[in-house]
Amino acid sequence: MADSSTQSIVIAAPPAQVASVICDFPRYPEWAGAVKRVEVLEEYEDGYAAQVRFVVDAGVMTDEYTLAYEYAEDISRIEWHLVQPSRMQRSQRGSYDVEDNGDGTSTVTYTLEVELSVGMLGMFRRKAEKMIMDAALTQLKRRVESVDGAR
């Protein structure tokens, strides 16, 4: 059974800029530490990625998996799910919700639900989830707020 975890962070950028960085999958290896390779496999007619293959190496955990993406019309919500089980994951569902704070900043809420293929004690799994979410949001914030992220 997969548990869901949620964390939020405020980023000093408007929602469109945040969403632009989130949706620029080929550039993830430049800023997302554990992501080593990304390949967009399919795109929707509007150019947004429909399926993306990831190769991750987080030291003790390496995996290769494909996620299917869906987007809110205004790109305020980006959600995904695992296309098929991988070596390390039975399932994965997640989303980014990007909310305009009205002051040039955005609140990004990251929700992640992962069911691992390997056994892990609940205490260790929760600690790993927290580390993954902390890193994802911190790295996203750093990227969006940097000069490179504004491109």
What pLDDT, in 10s, does the model give residues 59-89?
Answer: 777 899 999 999 999 999 999 999 999 988 8
| CB neighbour list of residue 55: distance below 8 Å, 6 or more residues apart | 35, 36, 37, 38, 62, 63, 64
Residue with the bigger pLDDT between 134 and 27: it is 27
Residue of 85, 97, 88, 120 whose CA lies nearest to 3: 120
Query: What pLDDT score was predicted for residue 133?
Result: 75
Q: Decide the pairing of beta strands 77-82 and 106-116.
A: unpaired
Handedness of CA 52, 141, 107, 12 (dihedral sign): negative
Angle between helices 15-23 and 122-145 in degrees, nearest 10: 120
Query: What pLDDT score was predicted for residue 137?
Result: 93
Q: What is the pTM of this model?
A: 0.87
Beta bridge partners, 82, equal 67
Q: Decide the pairing of beta strands 106-116 and 49-57.
A: unpaired
Query: For tokens 């296309």, what's the residue?
Result: 83
Domain span holding position 108:
3-150
CA distances from 51 to 6, 36, 39 (A): 23, 17, 9
Residue 22: which CATH number? 3.30.530.20
**Mean pLDDT of all residues belonging to the chain:** 88
What pLDDT, in 10s, does the model give residues 19-75?
Answer: 999 999 999 999 998 899 999 999 999 999 999 999 998 777 789 999 999 999 999
Task: Compute the C-alpha angle 137/138/140, nearest 5°.
Answer: 65
Q: What is the total count of domains within the chain?
A: 1
